């Protein structure tokens, strides 16, 4: 087999496997829309069965899976012997931070490190530490690939919106809507943008969200909810 043929086969295989992973993520988009970063990490770990992920990232995926298991573990005192649990919230928090930091340091520059950084941001949000959350989301956005960078930026926009930093959130979401990815589509960015615009410019929000209501699945339902909320506010 000549070099060109081997190269073509290798490229075709790579494209096929990446395509399978993208298809997997698209098939689970509703979970990503509903549950955000944690759902994404769980889905990507589950997708490790695909050849591209299995061949290149098995060890890193396993480490990320262990951290996710810690994140989802209950707090029970005393902890049972048959599944993972923690005696106190503090013990669980320390285990999450330790696991994420190990991935970030050991696998610096990898997608798993970017996901661990985003997980640290989500954990900081849970703890009410918005300054730390902002730092982690910015770091993930700076270091991740285009796909994961978009998710980190989306999380950052949501954080800004929760702080009423609408101008910062709006800027990010308009950029994401103009340059969508598999993980953050134009529809998702527009729905979140409409929620923010509804505070000061409800008419623009309505124009933005109305075309999305007829779309199937989670997008249409989310758009309908935003439109209904707009109608309630304008009617009150």
pLDDT in tens, 40-70: 565 555 554 444 445 456 788 888 888 888 9
Please check whether residue 205 lies inside any domain of the structure.
yes
Confidence (pLDDT) at 43: 54
Q: Has residue 190 been placed in a domain?
A: yes
Average pLDDT for 105-133:
89
Say how far apart CA 61 and CA 77 lie, in whole Å.
30
pLDDT at res. 174: 97
What pLDDT shows up at residue 46?
Answer: 55
- HEC string of the chain equals CCHHHHHHHHHHHHHHHHHHHHHHHHHCHHHHHHHCHHHHHHHHHHHHHCHHHHHHHHHHHHHHHHHHHHHHCCECCCCCCCCCCECCHHHHHHHHHHHHHHHHHHCCCCHHHHHHHHHHHHHHHHCCCHHHHHHHHHHHHHHCCHHHHHHHHHHHHHHHHHCCCHHHHHHHHHHHHHCCCCCCCHHHHHHHHHHHHHHHCHHHHHHHHHHHCCCCHHHHHHHHHHHHHHHHHHHC
Find residue 75's DSSP bridge partners. Answer: 86
- pLDDT over threshold 70, residue 22: no
- What domain count does the chain have? 1
User: Looking at per-residue confidence, does 1 or 160 come out higher?
Assistant: 160
Let me know if residue 132 belongs to a domain: no
Domain that holds residue 168: 162-236
pLDDT digits (tens, 9 = 90+) for 178-221: 999 888 889 989 999 999 999 999 999 999 999 999 988 888 88
The answer to whether residue 43 is domain-embedded is no
Across the chain, mean pLDDT equals: 79
pLDDT for 41 equals 60
Determine the pLDDT at residue 139.
94
> Considering the entire predicted model, what is its pTM?
0.74
pLDDT reported for residue 15? 33
Q: What is the mean pLDDT of residues 161-178?
A: 95
The string of pLDDT tens digits covering residues 62-117 is 888 888 889 888 999 998 988 899 999 999 999 999 999 999 999 998 888 988 99
Give the span between the Cα atoms of 171 and 194, in whole angstroms: 13
């Amino acid at each position: 087999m000549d070099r060109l043929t081997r190269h073509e086969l290798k490229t075709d295989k790579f494209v096929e496997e990446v395509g399978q992973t993208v298809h997997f993520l698209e098939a689970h988009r509703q979970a990503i829309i509903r549950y955000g970063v944690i759902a994404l990490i769980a889905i990507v770990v589950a997708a490790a069965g695909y050849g591209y992920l299995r061949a290149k990232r098995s060890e890193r995926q396993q480490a990320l899976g262990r951290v996710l298991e810690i994140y989802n573990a209950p707090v029970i005192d005393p902890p049972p012997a048959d599944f993972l649990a923690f005696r106190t919230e503090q013990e669980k928090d320390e285990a999450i931070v330790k696991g994420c930091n190990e991935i970030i340091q050991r696998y610096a520059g990898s997608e798993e490190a970017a996901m661990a950084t985003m997980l640290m941001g989500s954990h900081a949000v849970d703890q009410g530490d918005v300054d730390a959350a902002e730092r982690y989301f910015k770091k993930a956005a700076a270091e991740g690939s285009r796909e994961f960078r978009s998710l980190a930026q989306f999380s950052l926009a949501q954080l800004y919106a929760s702080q009423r930093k609408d101008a910062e959130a709006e800027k990010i979401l308009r950029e994401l809507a103009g340059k969508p990815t598999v993980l953050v589509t134009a529809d998702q960015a527009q729905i979140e943008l409409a929620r923010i615009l509804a505070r000061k410019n409800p008419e623009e929000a309505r124009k933005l969200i109305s075309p999305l209501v007829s779309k199937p699945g989670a997008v249409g339902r989310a758009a309908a909810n935003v439109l209904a909320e707009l109608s309630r506010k304008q009617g009150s």
